[in-house]
A and B are shown apart, each in its own frame.
Chain A
């Protein structure tokens, strides 16, 4: 599984022999690979006008390009805001609630993200093909897809340690611009152009996986909520800045504490473990039917609906599994 950003083909249809060679060496003689472009075919084509573009078939003959449009940027932020507003609407009408849920399109984005990740995973696992994922910048939807695909495919990413490493690798070091994306969240009136909840979308997809495979993730919902909180506001330096370079310039490692270190502490670690975890060496293929994708109540209704009864249920599960 590879990731990158878009090729700078431009409207002149520039070619780059080094890039072609690089992608060529990845594949064996006669082998075929897939490029999953997280933009629609039209958007990808239009990107040429601003210097970007796609890999033309003639220059990259062994690669087959698939387009899966994933929402990002301002529209994704709008979707998030609309959902949060729908959740805080005290209106008691069921029709209105369902209408607002649908028009927010948040769950559609979850479905699309999971489907694309599953597609990538399928290429790797079922077709034995290599996959290159990119969007425009390679810092948003690209990471969403590669990180989710690894969770689906690789059981070691589903352990607590492995998941942390996945986040470190596929989000933080890969350069997801946390500082720009997670500045204000849903309620703020400030309209940061770069604000977009990609990381939250990722966490939501992970939650969907945990719901469909309750035994297969070593961590629980609590961890996902902690990560969500810390991406926006944190006592730790882990999610600061936009990339490794900035973190180095700001001397983050020298002047702050790491979230992972805190989570490693035994008392903390306990809280985030899933009592139902049983190591599952297989690939987990989620259902992306609409009935299988649910609203993440633990996050979106966190402050609205008392969780007492569900917490008690979790307490009971823990009690049962730990054998009194």
Chain B
């Protein structure tokens, strides 16, 4: 469609005119300007919602909201074209078959072997071995080899030595979705472990011998402690409500030597609403500080992040300081359980704070243990009530930790943002489907590429210059404070305002320091070479020669950084009073102009879902988001591959 205008999120004056293309995998907007011809690519998978707004004199507005928080506002001149685009996007953004997804057509021009190698980069067997299992206390079990016991679990799980196949099968029958207790993390130093499962089908009084034996087996696998913690990550009310449905939680009277603990993390519906409310705050026009803080508090988002973090801290402490094993579960053991286990592992083991280790962590606790990527992140069109920012929350926990411990992580913020981006992008096959079983059935590894290989190839972009493996922060357990810790949680504008470049510090300290580090390294290498030469020369001659040493002008090297300050050069619109002057020079960064909201779609009140379990889909009105101008800025990883063939949708 030609003559489409792309609006800047906050300034209707700053529209650019161009042509809109729809392909099988992307929406592409190409600017008309002769020199720049800037392109904006958006993957259909990233599209979260499309809104057709009321036609105005200038055309028909279309608002596209993305799962990576990019917001794009287009104005299409003809109503008919707009309608066509709208209908097409609706269909394209809601694929019905996996084959429609980008990963099946994405072609990075690698051969079959490279593709295979890419998938082998993360090897979970290696990981369990690194942890120290199998050993005297833990064994690998193939009881689930054909997914016969639990179809959302991997084929290979680690269980205590004393857990026979009979016990495992019996326990699985007593657990929601058959997700029996299995090993997530083993601590070599003191034999304490983190195990995970789903809720027991205990109702009010049901018991299962094998399940009780399973927990005993976990306890016995840690001779250093005579009890285990059982942590239910749900609020007590939810768990109790589940009892009425024949599920529930472990009764301390029935299970010998357990200490039971609730750590109330809310369910997926509450989290979905929380994120939505927070994004609404982000879309406010010229909010005051009070509007923002009030909106942030009202969303409850940081409160939930802290709850997940606190749970991880509790478990890490239990393992590291008390030497006690922990069994973690929620309802189905694939959301909050995954979050909490991976946070705890990250705190405990510095390996997971390396780039490779982090990939391994996600593969282990999220991918292999059957987190429902498809349902949660909408690979395919499905039930909107299954959508929830579960892994987003985990990723944010990691970011919050990085802010508190800047030297402790080998990777940087960009790494996290790109991972989040690709969880939704479906450009790679790692995060498709709901389980290992489904992925194998679809032959994902033979037909798509691995994100990890892609990130690993570009790892220089993802390094944290402050990380040193021998630094005190990168050793051992991380101890974030709990008690007065609230105010250490920051709003992650790098993620939720990712595409609003004017909001962020215009100068990247990370990039600068990486460049410094590289240069220092190069200089040191050069110095070595020169010293060698000098030594050789002194050996072979009598020392009459002068060796010229090369001096590098450091400041010149970083001239390119000062030129980036052009971004620093554009004022926001600080005042409406100056609007009468033609004051603004066309450049990036103006985002604060007063664009009046056309309408405020009133939000319907959300029924309180806190008492429902995860199982119940329940009736829930999804709030409408208030419309606002969409801005389009180049995404760092727009998914555009220059070699890729672009074919237009028929």
Contact = CB atoms under 8 A, between A and B. Distances in A.
A292 B572 CA distance: 12
A278 B486 contact: no
B476 interface: no
A99 B566 CA distance: 37
Interface string B279-310: 00010000111111110110010110010000
Nearest to A290: B292
A211 B505 CA distance: 7
Interface centre among B287, B471, B497, B574 (most CB of A within 10 A): B574
Contact of A105 (B287, B290, B570): B290
A49 interface: no
Contact of B506 (A66, A87, A90, A212): A212
A65 to B, nearest CB: 10
Interface stretch (B28-36, B49-57, B507-515): B507-515
Nearest to A279: B562
B490 A294 contact: yes
Interface string B487-522: 111110100010000111111010011001100100
B481 interface: yes
B575 A313 contact: no
A309 B569 contact: no
A313 B409 CA distance: 12
A216 B294 CA distance: 32
A304 interface: yes
Interface string A203-241: 000000001111110000000000000000000000000
B482 interface: yes
Interface in B566-588: 566, 568-572, 574-575, 577-578, 581, 583-584
Given A115-B574, A301-B487, A316-B466, A122 B583 contact: yes
Contacts of A316: 406-407, 466, 468, 471
Given A278-B562, A283-B569, A312-B472, A107 B289 contact: yes
B30 to A, nearest CB: 29
A214 B509 contact: yes
A45 B505 CA distance: 39
B282 to A, nearest CB: 8
Interface centre among A105, A291, A310 (most CB of B within 10 A): A291
B574 A94 contact: no
Interface residues of B, number: 74
Contacts of A320: 465-466, 513, 516-517, 520
Contact of A276 (B466, B468, B485, B509): B509
Contact of A305 (B484, B490, B575): B484
A93 interface: yes
A115 B289 CA distance: 12
Contacts of B575: 66, 115, 119, 122
Interface in A275-322: 276, 278-285, 287-295, 297, 301, 304-306, 309-310, 312-313, 316-317, 320-321
Given A94-B489, A122-B571, A290 B520 contact: no
Nearest to A321: B516
B472 to A, nearest CB: 7
A19 interface: no
- Leading 5 A-B pairs by shortest Cβ distance: A290-B292, A313-B406, A98-B297, A102-B293, A94-B303
10 contacts: A102-B293, A102-B297, A105-B289, A108-B289, A108-B290, A122-B583, A127-B578, A283-B569, A290-B293, A292-B493
Interface of A: 66, 87, 89-90, 92-95, 97-99, 101-102, 105, 107-108, 110-111, 115, 118-119, 121-123, 125-127, 211-216, 276, 278-285, 287-295, 297, 301, 304-306, 309-310, 312-313, 316-317, 320-321, 323-324
Given A214-B507, A289-B591, 17 more contacts: A93-B486, A98-B486, A99-B297, A101-B293, A102-B290, A119-B575, A125-B571, A215-B507, A276-B512, A285-B568, A287-B502, A288-B574, A291-B282, A292-B493, A305-B488, A309-B473, A321-B516
Interface of B: 282, 287-294, 296-297, 300, 302-303, 306, 404-408, 465-466, 468, 471-473, 481-491, 493, 497, 502-507, 509, 512-513, 516-517, 520, 523-524, 555, 558, 561-562, 565-566, 568-572, 574-575, 577-578, 581, 583-584, 589, 591-592
